Amino acid sequence: MRSWRVPVKEFTTENIRNFCLAGQRGCGKTSFADAVAFNTGQNNRIGRVDDGSSLMDYTESEISKKTSISSKLLAAEWNKNKINLFDCPGHSDFIGELLSSMTVAESVGILISAPSGVEVGTNIQWKWINKFKCSRFFFVNKIEVENANWRNCLEQIKESFGKQAVAVQIPMGEADSFKGIIDLLHMKAYEFDANGNRKEIEIPADLKDDAETEREALIEVAAEADDALLEKFFEEGTLSDTDTLIGLKKGIKEGVIYPVLFGSSTKNMGIQVVLDFIIEYLPSPADRSPVKAVKTGTEDIVDVKIDSNGKVLTYFFKTVSEGHLGDMSYFKTYSGTVKSGSDFKNQQTNNSERATQIYTFHGKNREEVSSVPAGDIGVLVKLKGTLAGHSLADSSLGLSIPKTEYPNPVMDVAIKSKSKGDEDKIGTGLNKLMTEDPTFKFVLDPALKQQILYTQGSTQIEVIQEKLKARFGVEVELGKPKIPYRETIKGKTEKQYRHKKQSGGRGQFGDVHLRIEPNTRGGGFEFSDQIKGGVIPSKYIPAVEKGVVESMQHGGLAGAPVVDVKVAVFFGSYHDVDSSDMAFKIAASGAFKEGFLECKPILLEPIFDVEVTVPDDFTGDVMGDISSRRGKIGGMDPDGHNQTIRAQVPQAELYQYSVDLRSMTQGQGVYSIAFSHYEEVPHDAAKKVMEEAKRAKEEEKE
């Protein structure tokens, strides 16, 4: 039995490896991290997600759901090097956790479940990995599970991600017969015992051909990573072991070779080999030097050398509330060394902050450290106003690291408190939670008279509800959000409206003639003063415009705002005593309301660009469903064994689409949305909207 221990010494930048785990939900990322924790002495057993003993998935919600919800840091030591491993959720609702981790990681380990192969979520994550330009490797997990087929899995990886995905080892056996791996770099075979330790054996005769075939592919890809090596390969037909290793290291660090390894996290088979590989082949922070920084207050980009002896520059990529400890702010040091007791300036707020207690984390266990050198990851507590996306630096440096970009939310719901008087708690709670998770948004929409929560999906909504109840004592109800319809016109008219009121004393008089006509779509509202001869004094013209604008807030069809119209006041009359701003505002409002209904008014609805990625088998069902939602298919793009369907769909038809897509595709479909434009609502649908608006208005009166 291993005793629990933690690394306490400081490592040089060259001896640090920062990497995060990616892959579809259920592929075994957390089990991999737990196995790493055991092998590096961070735990005296391999924690398990199934029984709630995981060192990584330790929150109440994660234990009950048996899935990761937030990324966790595992700091560990292996072969005199430091590893900072980020165990990230595979669920698409929590993609922000992976993105924030990739911001500070040089590499990504992509886990593939051997029985399942490459899944849709992995393809989506791959696009983000490309955007972050991370080095990467594949670990084909669950080789010991029934129906595992390493050859099919390797072929799928190559089909999905290109021939640059190349095996550096192959397994000996699969399912119940899995017993070890063949190292293609050195052509040696290793058998694992029950504790994950290895011993060298002869390469099995039945796998020699497979090993030679995959080794040839490895040599060819290694040669392509360097022009000199490629020339040597063409001349000699192969490369020496030394040259192969040189090409492989170069290609991995430059992100053009994707090595594939095999093993079992739960059986602890192959984990130590992967750790050796990480130290030997993955880039250190020094290999990514220099990094890009922005001059504070400008958009100027400068290079910053990753050097522990330079002036301090840090980036805060994650904030977590840890009960009595308060906010835990995770950061990476890009330059200099952060030391306990040092003062820094927040480059976004210009306020000073002090590094009091500094921690590192080993899953759920924390350890206090005295300093964090360049390239390393640390955690500060109880900062005054530093949030994720901020940079702390020496006061004289004046630089910051560019903020992480996150995807748009894909699902919206209306949210309100169950108990009256708790409305303020919702806003307070959600604003706090948004500092911890920037992938959702909370908006109080005065036009719709609703509080709207924009999220990445239904599971994220569940987690937000749980946190609101547990941390802020507020229970909420969810509902269907109202659609921000708009109204406009197709025709034009001229309309007079005279407002006259006499009730003793000074009366009210305002008489306006308006010309109302359509503006171009997206052209907005244009008002013009075409009065001649002073029939309406110029001092009343602003009141006329104000009356029109106020009337436009609630159109005559469904009470939605009116857009894209031109209005001109061209005639009218006034009274020396009874005319006033109020009288002309009322007259203009009346003229517009009546004239609007004579201009062939139409209802507009928001249309969204939608991209849905699903396995080939579900393409027909998903396309049919999109059509049933009044969607228009724009095309399809093949993506390995998946299809990405491009469409435009009305927002009104996207409610609960996250839930419906998951049901249609057995949880294998993912999608993204972005607002495109407004267009006319079809007659039947518009009729329903207007009837609902009329009914709602009558209910308000009651």
Whether this prediction's pTM lies above 0.85 is answered by yes
CATH for 16-286?
3.40.50.300
pLDDT above 70 for 327:
yes
Residues 331 and 315: beta-carbon distance below 8 Å: yes
- pLDDT given for residue 98 in this prediction: 98
Q: What's the rounded Cα separation, in Å, for the pair 23 and 37?
A: 19
pLDDT above 70 for 69:
yes
| Interval 537-554: pLDDT, tens | 999 999 999 999 999 999
Amino acid at 569: V
pLDDT above 60 for 3:
no
Long-range contacts, stretch 144-148, CB < 8 angstroms, 24+ apart? 144/174, 144/175, 144/176, 144/178, 144/264, 144/266, 144/267, 144/269, 145/113, 145/114, 145/115, 145/175, 146/115, 146/175, 146/176, 147/115, 147/175, 148/114, 148/115, 148/174, 148/175, 148/178
Per-residue pLDDT averaged across 255-265, rounded?
97
Per-residue pLDDT averaged across 259-272, rounded?
96
Using pLDDT thresholds of 50, 70 and 90, give the confidence band for residue 449: confident
Fold of 413-479: Alpha-Beta Plaits (3.30.70)
Lowest mean pLDDT among 21-30, 31-40, 43-52: 43-52
Please say whether the structural domain 289-400 has been given the CATH code 2.40.30.10.
Answer: yes
Fold of 604-685: Alpha-Beta Plaits (3.30.70)
Q: Which of helix, strand or coil describes residue 571?
A: strand
So where are the chain's domains?
16-286, 289-400, 413-479, 487-599, 604-685
Residues 317 and 386: beta-carbon distance below 8 Å: no
pLDDT above 90 for 612:
yes
- pLDDT given for residue 4 in this prediction: 46
DSSP-derived pairing of the beta strands 601-615 and 642-650:
antiparallel
pLDDT above 70 for 310:
yes
pLDDT above 80 for 504:
no
Concatenating the DSSP letter of every residue in 123-135 gives: HHHHHHHHHHT-E
Using pLDDT thresholds of 50, 70 and 90, give the confidence band for residue 639: confident
Average pLDDT, the chain: 94
| Interval 182-231: pLDDT, tens | 999 999 999 999 888 899 999 999 999 999 999 999 999 999 999 999 99
Per-residue pLDDT averaged across 77-81, rounded?
95
- pLDDT given for residue 94 in this prediction: 96
What does the block give as tokens for 488? 């406009």
| Interval 563-585: pLDDT, tens | 999 999 999 999 998 999 999 99
Per-residue pLDDT averaged across 447-467, rounded?
93
| Interval 330-356: pLDDT, tens | 999 999 999 999 999 999 999 999 999
Per-residue pLDDT averaged across 655-668, rounded?
92
| Residue pointed to by tokens 């939670």 | 433
- pLDDT given for residue 105 in this prediction: 98
Right CATH for 487-599 from 3.30.70.1560, 3.40.50.300, 2.60.40.10, 3.30.230.10: 3.30.230.10
Per-residue pLDDT averaged across 501-516, rounded?
88
Q: Which of helix, strand or coil describes residue 320?
A: strand
Per-residue pLDDT averaged across 34-57, rounded?
93
Equal CATH topology for 413-479 and 604-685: yes
- pLDDT given for residue 538 in this prediction: 95
Using pLDDT thresholds of 50, 70 and 90, give the confidence band for residue 8: low
pLDDT above 50 for 2:
no
Using pLDDT thresholds of 50, 70 and 90, give the confidence band for residue 702: low
513 CB-near residues (< 8 Å, 6+ apart): 494, 495, 496, 569, 570, 571, 572, 591
